[in-house]
Structure 1
Amino acid sequence: MSTLLEIEPDAFERLSQRLLRESGFTKVEVRGKTGDGGIDGVGVLRVNLVSFQVYFQCKRWKGSVGSREIRDFRGALQGRADKGLFITTGTFTAQASDEATRDGAIAIDLIDGERLCDLLKENGLGVTSKMIEHVEINCKRCASHTGFA
């Protein structure tokens, strides 16, 4: 996680773009610029016969994203998107989660740092996994019978 916090904001946006492409999105564009109104990019997600235009926002945060940030993002989505996706290296407060799924408002899916790392691992994006076997004998009696005592 610390590596993600150290990369430049535009590099984090491009990593998010690549993750979305690997996850089945098409036409993924990064739009993050000064004055972008809180929208970092857009992509199209096709589910069977239906396509959704999904705008996304990326935040490299150590702490928690609150409901205010979700409301601000939703405001930027009004009249533009079918869905929103908020990606952060941090976590989301309970209020942010409630706000993201509020009835009558554009739905916003949330990807926190833990889920982001899982997705990067699943898609093989900048993550290397190593399996390490650790064997420990817990029974002194068993150890004496096997010649390890």
Structure 2
Amino acid sequence: MADKKQAEFTKWFGPLLNALRELGGSARPKEVVEAIAKSENVPDIQREEIMKSGILRFDNQVAWARQYLVWEGLLDNVKKGVWTLSSKGQDTHLSLEDSRKLFLKWVEIHQKARKDKNSKKNIEKLQDEQGPEEVEHEIAPSLLEVLQTVSPIGFEHICKRLLREHGFENVFVTQASRDGGIDGYGTLELNPFVSMKVLFQCKRYQGTVSRSQVGDFRNAMIGRADKGIILTTGTFSEDAKREASREGAPPIELIDGKKLVELFEKVELGVKPKIVYEVDYNFFEKFIKK
């Protein structure tokens, strides 16, 4: 099983480089993940698989692939939230064998850097259970774990506060017995002349929001607002994502657990910022080699 997961993880090295080339050399993580899934015909069931941490396994594997490519100098590690090919990466094409060798190379470098004979085993375990940004510094419990422990009504009021912090006005949570599938509403001013009414639904989940649930929310909001938002501490199925953006139907924004955490961090709501320095292994590589 470990070998299978490792093979899956290294499998995305080449497709990730190819996806960035197709996207013009840089893109946001979500765009890259979507491009790889499309080019490699990744089935929905694989894309929807969730790890114990609540993270999508496929997304996590792609994120790990990106981390190794950064260490190799094939991707730049400059702007957060944007993955960018380096000049070296632009001209690099990786086969499965190339990817395997690259992986083993950096495992060896980490072993030497940490002077830990079990580094390889530890790294493989981390790749299965965490995202690359969590390796050097774990937060226990995480923001997402805390959000999953609040009461359903508490989560609704937290989401109300989050929407206000992001520019929404006149935000209200509806009464539970009279919500009709709508947990709250608010107004978003697009510019001094145009504003829109937005309805929102909050799902404090650890699982997956289905297509039917997105459809039910849309039916509840038709004729009542210009746009809808579903916020969850879980994830959305691929069918749910397609339903939310279905042509000819009122648009619905989907905010999953990962995006939810990013929105809290952006306005520093319920979290305190701290500086964390990440080791640039690519810089030290030439000094570690024999």
* TM-score in terms of structure 2 length: 0.46
Deviation at 1:111, TM superposition (A): 0.6
CA offset digits 1:99-136 (Å, max 9, x no partner) = 01111211111111101000000111101232233557
* Contact 1:19–1:120 (Cα < 8 Å) also in 2: yes
Query: Secondary structure at 2:254's aligned position in 1?
Result: strand
Who is 1:83 aligned against? 227
Tell me whether 1:6 sits opposite 2:162 in the alignment. no
> Which residue of 241, 254, 259 maps to 1:97?
241
Alpha-carbon shift at residue 81 of structure 1 (Å): 1.0
Q: 1:35 offset after TM fit, Å? A: 4.1
Question: Alignment identity in percent?
Answer: 46
Which position in structure 1 is the counterpart of 2:107? none
Q: 1:42 maps to which residue?
A: 185
Which runs of 5 or more structure 1 residues have no equivalent in the other structure?
A: 143-149
What residue identity is the alignment partner of 2:153?
D
| Partner-residue secondary structure (3-state), 1:6 | coil
Whichever structure has more helix as a proportion of its residues is 2
> Is the strand fraction higher in 1 or 2?
1
The count of corresponding residues between Structure 1 and Structure 2 is: 142
Aligned with residue 122 of structure 1, among 257, 263, 266: 266
Partner of 2:195 in structure 1?
A: 51
| Paired position in structure 1 for 2:171 | 28
Corresponding residue for residue 214 of structure 2: 70
Question: Bigger relative contact order, structure 1 or 2, given CA contacts below 8 A and separation 6+?
Answer: 1
* Structure-1 residue corresponding to 2:58: none
User: Unmatched 5+ residue regions in structure 2?
Assistant: 1-143
TM-score by length of 1: 0.87
Deviation at 1:34, TM superposition (A): 2.3
* C-alpha contact 1:13 1:32 (8 A) present in aligned 2: no
Partner SS, residue 218 of structure 2: helix
The separation in 2 between residues aligned to 1:67 and 1:87, in whole angstroms, is: 14
Cα offset, 1:19, TM superposition: 0.9
